[in-house]
Structure 1
């Protein structure tokens, strides 16, 4: 325990690499692309939009790990099914699209289109 109050400058600076660059392949889904694997980890509420990053052992092979940014569609299924580390997860980006309206920085309403994901797990 320190006997005197410390200031910020009393601590040694620590250099840390980019938190997202862990050498694991990052998937960015194309329409029709699917991935199936066992959940290794879920990093919750990270990044600028507080989304999840899901880490999978593709095909159940711990030597073939991938990761991808989740979204609300994926997270809702994971939560509803109670999926966690060790659960199987299958995700496919479909051709189906939907849209929603949001207010931009100028206060104007814009429409944004997104692809629907087919998410399955057990």
Structure 2
């Protein structure tokens, strides 16, 4: 049986319970368990951050650490909107090139030969279909 590898531990920035590190009894439980109040830590750093009741790592410090990390990750991954736009442009370019290669405007004329008992296609047309140099 394959055993999993723990990549991190979900840690509450404001404690999950009223007695935990950085507790805020006024914060509703739903907010305590929300993504905005969670940070992913390795086991060792989770213990360090929560040690001494969390007094060495305030809510503000942990929120800033989380914000900086998410910002670095977002920058390293690029802008999803730009990537989506670039992918759409590549797809449109591919479709335009394919339409040119299959002579879509003359589709009825050249595909009729494929409906005969012995389908035939001009060799150069056949090669254009399989040319992968886009």
Which bracket does the TM-score occupy, shorter chain normalised? Answer: under 0.3
Instruction: Normalising by structure 1, report the TM-score.
Output: 0.25
Structure with the largest fraction of helix: 2
Structure with the largest fraction of strand: 1
Instruction: Normalising by structure 2, report the TM-score.
Output: 0.23
Bigger-Rg structure (1/2): 2
Q: Which has the higher contact order (CA 8 A, sep 6+)?
A: 1
